[in-house]
Structure 1
Amino acid sequence: MKKSLISLAILAASGAASAQSNVTIYGIMDAGIVSEHGGKNGNVTKVGSGINSASRIGFKGTEDLGGGLSAVFTLETGIKEDTGELDNTSNRLFNRQAFVGLSSKTAGTLTLGRQYTPWYNTFVQVGDPFQAGLEGSAKNIFPANGINVRNDNSIVYRSPEFYGVSGELFYAMGEKAHASTGRQLGASIGYQNGPLNVRVAYNNINNDTAVGSVVTEKQIGHNTLIAANYDFKVVKAYAMFGSNKGLNSANLTSASLPGATTGLPAGLPAGSSFSAYNGSVVSPSLDSRTWLVGANVPVSAAGSIIVSYAKVDDKTYDQDAHQAAIGYTHSLSKRTNLYLSYAKINNKNGASYIVGNNSDVGTGDSAYSVGIRHAF
């Protein structure tokens, strides 16, 4: 009898423990048709993946540790829906997110791993009405790429909300012999109350390099972003302003410079490329301003029109550009929506900004897209 009672107690304890844990498989499947114009290869029409939101599959979980404390984790990988491949070439299985940590209802959340920066969270969650998706993505103009988006070896603390105020701290280790070499710092503070949502974020990139014990000091990159939105019910208004100073504060990606080649004239800054898109030498700016205004206008219970106007003011080389964009999304259910969008960039003085979407940087200075997104 005693053995039976002990067995029942063990089974009950096991059941209670499993009931306190939760693991979720989630994802987004997003595909559409994209028509790009103005690139070096002329018009390009293709089936694209991750146009509205990057296609992905992920696993996330929590375990209740008692006393308001939980263990949390997330593993997330990107997918090219049009081919079934991973959406990266770096042989990363979980290239989007991979972290584990502890979360307290009263003290906040502390996580370690590959994670988003506070700057990018502010950019997507508060400032861009397209939320970095569709052809109107503000990523086409703002420096939302590379380590400004997410970083390895990072430690992130997110505070709980106090009277509408919350904050986030970010530290990514360079993991070099010299502690500051390659490290990245970030922070944000925001206020949300009813229809108002405003946030300020800062990003600091140490570009020093180290070979053994020899450290080569380089310029620090700084990104500051102020973003806000206000829901007037009949329209949700957005505004965003960014200041980008120093090395790697406004990176150029090889994909955004069609036909990039070497053999440049001497004296150009590191990272300079020749653009066959417009036949000019394009260098990453060391001092620029970016700003945006936009709106999300509900036109029915299921549909919304999205518009934005964004501009980059390059103080280093005067290679300015501005983008005008419009999109429409229509919800078929809580998890499925249709979309279409169009954006056009006007480049000045040899600038080479390209119209892309959430997952693809694009090939030309204008593009259309139409597609479907399903979340599970």
Structure 2
Amino acid sequence: MKYFPIKGLALVAMLAWGTASQAQSSVQVYGLIDVALAYDKQPGKSAVTGVENGKMTTSYFGLKGSEDLGGGLATVFALESYFRADTGSNGRFDGDGFWTRSSYVGLQGRFGSVRLGRNSVPLFTSTLLFNPFGDSFGYSPSIRHYFASGTVTGDSGWSDSIAYISPNFSGLTVNLIAAAGEGNGGPNVGGSLLYAKGPLGLTAVYQRVRKGAAIADTTTWQLGSSYDFDVVKVFAQYGQVKNVSAQPDIEYKLTDLGVAVPLGGGKVLAAYGLLDPVLGAKRETLSLGYDYNLSKRTDVYLVLMRDELDALSAGKSLAVGIRHRF
């Protein structure tokens, strides 16, 4: 098990400061820590109680920056690493790479942004934007059904990839990504249209995963929407995933609905997700929580979840946690 020492983080910060001073670049160290006291019973398994990392957001730290090249052109880069704050170990799990959240360098200008390295996929970004629990692998039915239930393959970020983000055209952006196969199948391709203006948000996403001999080939499409009525923000998603490596093909239909209601300095969050395969066990997940802001950078939360998978005992989870952004 590997650990990232405090001295190491201090050295990264000092190097970043030195680089910013010499090259007159903008460099920032940032991150998020999320730890909770949790009761967790997955469907068909025994309950576990303890201190857990990343129930609402996976803890991470990062280093990003830019250099003005003149004429409206800039170099951009990011290095971002997941870690488990409950144990001090790096990565989301044992064997996870160090910079697996993001590690890219690219150019940005009036044409948009082009990034080379490891980039987040548009499907993951759209999934987290259009559900009230965001990128919570612990309690977002949508995130759990797409990325933690054996449906979508290829992870939430792709290595050996090139990503393009267009300029904002009156609220509309185009996001494209391709990951080179490099002799290991592939390539992977994906893209999205994302619209956000005023109270309305819309998205349409497609991706195809073929990279990796041990990874199933899948195709996924998703539609998402949100509307903020001030007194309540509503979310809806519908998508389909097809595993073309299975014989015969396995298809999944995914429906997710949610609301976020401002209340007393925080928000009441509720979401329901249905994962309905053409063949196999149906999964229904219901989450309810309250997220209270102690400041602009710190919030505390209480979340309950019921997770039902056909033919197994129901999953039941509860967490009381704190998040801090720096």
Q: Same fold (TM over 0.5)?
A: yes
Is contact 2:137-2:143 (8 Å) kept?
no
Deviation at 1:183, TM superposition (A): 1.5
2:161 paired residue among 151, 154, 158:
154
- 1:92 Cα shift? 1.9
- Could you say which residue in structure 2 is the equivalent of 1:59? 63
The reply on whether 1:136 has 2:103 as its aligned counterpart is: no
Q: Which residue of 2 aligns with 1:324?
A: 286
Q: CA deviation at 1:219?
A: 7.9
**Match for residue 286 of structure 1 among 250, 270, 274:** 250
Question: How far has the Cα of 1:17 moved from its partner?
Answer: 7.9
Residues of 2 paired with 1:315 and 1:141: CA distance?
15
Equivalent positions of 1:112-191 (< 5 A) are 112-125=116-129, 127-133=130-136, 135-137=138-140, 138-143=142-147, 147-176=154-183, 181-191=185-195
- 1:173-201, Cα deviation, whole Å (9 max, x unpaired): 11018xxx221000101222210010101
Q: CA deviation at 1:132?
A: 2.5
Select which of 293, 298, 307 maps to 2:262: 298
Instruction: Report whether the alignment pairs 1:25 with 2:29.
Output: yes
Query: Equivalent residue for 1:372?
Result: 322
Report the equivalent of 1:94. Answer: 99
- What SS is found at the alignment partner of 1:89? coil
Residues 337 and 151 (structure 1), Cα distance of their counterparts in 2 relative to 1, 3 Å cut: same
Q: 1:205: Cα distance to partner?
A: 1.4
Deviations 1:287-334 (A, max 9, x none): 01001110000012x2100001110111123x1111111011110100
Deviation track 1:215-273 (CA, whole Å, cap 9, x = no partner) reads: xxx9842100111111000000000001111236xxxxxxxxxxxxxxxxxxxx58xxx
Structure 2: where are the runs of 5+ without partners?
1-18
Aligned: 1:309 with 2:312: no
Tell me: higher relative CO, structure 1 or 2? Use CA pairs within 8 A at least 6 residues apart: 1
Question: Aligned equivalents of 1:305 and 1:375: distance in 2?
Answer: 20
- Give the superposition deviation at 1:136: 2.6
Deviation at 1:52, TM superposition (A): 1.5
Equivalent residue in structure 1 for 2:221, among 220, 224, 243? 224
SS of the residue 2:47 aligns to: strand
**Cα deviations by residue, 1:71-105 (Å, 9 ceiling, x for unpaired):** 0000011111011001232252212111100011x
Q: TM-score, normalised by structure 2?
A: 0.86
CA distance in 1, matches of 2:96, 2:284: 35
TM-score by length of 1: 0.75
Question: Gapped runs of 5+ residues in structure 1?
Answer: 1-14, 211-217, 249-268, 271-283, 353-363
Aligned to 1:251: none
Match of 1:276 in 2: none
**CA displacement 1:25-46 (0-9 Å, x = unmatched):** 0011111111023655532101
SS of residue paired to 2:186: coil
- Higher alpha-carbon deviation: 364-373 or 54-63: 364-373
Deviations 1:157-179 (A, max 9, x none): 000011221101100011018xx
Secondary structure at 1:230 match in 2: strand
Cα distance in 2 between the residues matched to 1:146 and 1:90: 18
Asked if the contact 1:207–1:221 (Cα under 8 Å) also holds between the matched residues in 2, the reply is: no
User: 1:238 touches 1:293 (CA, 8 Å); kept in 2?
Assistant: yes
Q: What residue identity is the alignment partner of 1:176?
A: G
How many residue pairs match? The answer is 303
Q: Match of 2:251, as an amino acid?
A: D
Given that residues 29 and 61 in structure 2 are in contact (C-alpha distance below 8 angstroms), is that contact kept between their aligned partners in structure 1?
Answer: yes
Q: Distance in 1 between matches of 2:218 and 2:312?
A: 21
More strand by share: 2
- Kindly state the Cα deviation for residue 365 of structure 1 after the two structures are TM-superposed: 1.1
Q: Report the residue type matching 2:95 in the other structure.
A: S
The amino acid across from 1:151 in the alignment is: W
Q: Which amino acid aligns with 1:202?
A: Y
Matched letter for residue 338 of structure 1: V
Would you say the 8 A contact 2:181–2:211 is kept in 1?
A: no
Q: Percent identity?
A: 31
Task: Tell me the distance in 2 between the aligned counterparts of 1:39 and 1:339.
Answer: 23
CA deviation profile, 1:134-159 (whole Å, cap 9, x unmatched): 74312222245652411110000000
**Paired residue type of 2:273:** A
Give the 3 Å change call, closer, same or farther, for CA 134–340 of structure 1 in structure 2.
Answer: farther
**SS in structure 2 of the partner of residue 123 of structure 1:** helix
Q: Which residue of 1 aligns with 2:209?
A: 205
- The residue aligned with 1:107 is 111
